Amino acid sequence: MRVRAVVGDELRIFCGSATPELAASVARHLGGELSKGWASSFPDGESRVQIDESVRGADCYIVQSTCSPVNHNLMELLVFVDALRRASAWRINAVIPYFGYARQDKKVQAREPITGKLVANMLEKAGVDRVVAVDLHAGQVQGFFDVPVDHLTALGILGEHLGSQDLSNSVVVSPDVGRATEGRRLANHLGLPLAILHKRRSSPTETAVTHVIGEVKGMRPIIADDMITTASTITRGVEALLELGALPDVRVVATHPVFTPPALERLAHEAISEVFVTDTIPYRGELSKIKVLSVAGLLASAIQNVHDNSSVSSLFPK
């Protein structure tokens, strides 16, 4: 895939093969186009990167989600960083809208790896000077890095879209206790009550809802999560809410549409009326109830603020 042109005299925006449309949109928000570079593969699958313009002394940003194929996209990002470092870029910023391996942030059982830390080590060793990410699955991943991390959230984008809809008799539902803080922020933003699902995980992809904290009877739930992978948590939550008398008009919002099978089949549940996600991961499906909102403006603002040494926290919803 070839990308080209320049954003500014010192600011350079590059992209890998994971999120080219998002990267191009980010560049347009900054008033330019993507910088010249190649991201491709050798016939045996090895990642190959070629930078086609001088980046000596430049402030470089690589937009690349580490979504599926996760290992390929991660390796491509590392190769991009190495290419820029060897080309004498002044600063190398990894803009990772979806940070893969963030779920492996601690040891749950004996002899397990902490792969989120391993990925952080790899990025730093390759030469990353700064990381920009959106809605990390585990906030403590920020502490895995010894370089600055700007942890953005799409909560404002999702909340603004929801705020334009009819929210009568609605309740924000956090899918678990771990997401309760973010659920509370969204509920406060929309002026709605909050309910929390208490779940038990039986495997890395399967969960069971044991009980619900909060009043949901006669309410229209808005289930808010950071990512949807198999949609097991979502559909189990929907069933639990319906059993407690919630109305069969459930809206689902999540930042990252990971969507591994059978996620789309589960999201087709008749009680789910709409699903709102962002473009941190490209969505190629055909389920019409899924609506994609863009984080390009958010990322562009963060990049501009970092480049100008301005505050990034000003972009966070209050």
The helix or strand, by DSSP H or E, that contains position 133, with its residue range, turns out to be strand 130-134
DSSP-based three-state secondary structure for 302: helix
Query: What is d(CA 292, CA 227) in angstroms, rounded to the nearest whole number?
Result: 13
The pLDDT of residue 176 is 86
Active site residue ranges: 199
| Residue at 144: amino acid letter | F
Give CA–CA dist 266/231, Å, rounded.
6
The predicted-structure confidence for 41-58, as pLDDT tens digits, reads as follows 999 999 999 999 999 999
The C-alpha atoms of residue 33 and residue 7 are separated, in whole angstroms, by 6
Q: Which residues pair with 252 in a beta bridge?
A: 223, 275
pLDDT at 268 over 80: yes
Distance CA 130, CA 150 (A): 8
Q: Do the Cβ atoms of 30 and 61 come closer than 8 Å? A: no
Q: What would the two tokens of residue 299 be?
A: 């990322």
Burial of 32 (0-12, 13-18, 19+ CB in 10 A): middle
Same domain, 50 and 120: yes
Tokens (6 digits) for 76:
């491509």
Answer yes or no: do 188 and 304 share one domain.
no
Where residue 49 sits, what CATH number does that domain have?
3.40.50.2020
**Considering only CA atoms, which of 98, 31, 89 is closest in space to residue 61?**
89
pLDDT at 10 (0 to 100): 87
Considering the domain architecture, whether residues 194 and 300 belong to the same structural domain is answered as no
Residue 170 and residue 105 share a domain = no
Neighbours of 69 (CB within 10 A): 13
How many C-beta atoms lie closer than 10 Å to residue 6's C-beta?
16
Tokens 């809809």 belong to 165
Query: ∠ CA(222), CA(224), CA(227), 5° rounding?
Result: 140
Is 159 found in the same domain as 145? no
For position 223, what pLDDT does the model report? 97
Q: Do 46 and 119 belong together in one domain?
A: yes
- Tell me which residue of 23, 21, 67 sits closest to 228, measured CA to CA: 67
For residues 100 and 219, membership in a common domain is answered with: no
pLDDT surpassing 50 at residue 103: yes
Query: Is there a single domain that holds both residue 162 and residue 233?
Result: yes
Same domain, 159 and 128: no
Phi, psi of 169 (to 5 degrees): 55, 30
Rounded Cα gap, residues 120 and 128, in angstroms: 10
Same domain, 106 and 175: no
Q: Provide the pLDDT confidence category of residue 4 given band limits of 50, 70 and 90.
A: very low
Choice between 198 and 34, residue whose per-residue pLDDT is larger: 34
How much is the pLDDT for 201?
62
Whether residues 237 and 116 fall in one domain: no
- For residue 263, give its domain range: 155-293
User: Given pLDDT bands bounded at 50, 70 and 90, which one contains residue 211?
Assistant: confident
Same domain, 137 and 32: yes
Domain count, the chain: 2
> In percent, how much of the chain has pLDDT > 90?
81
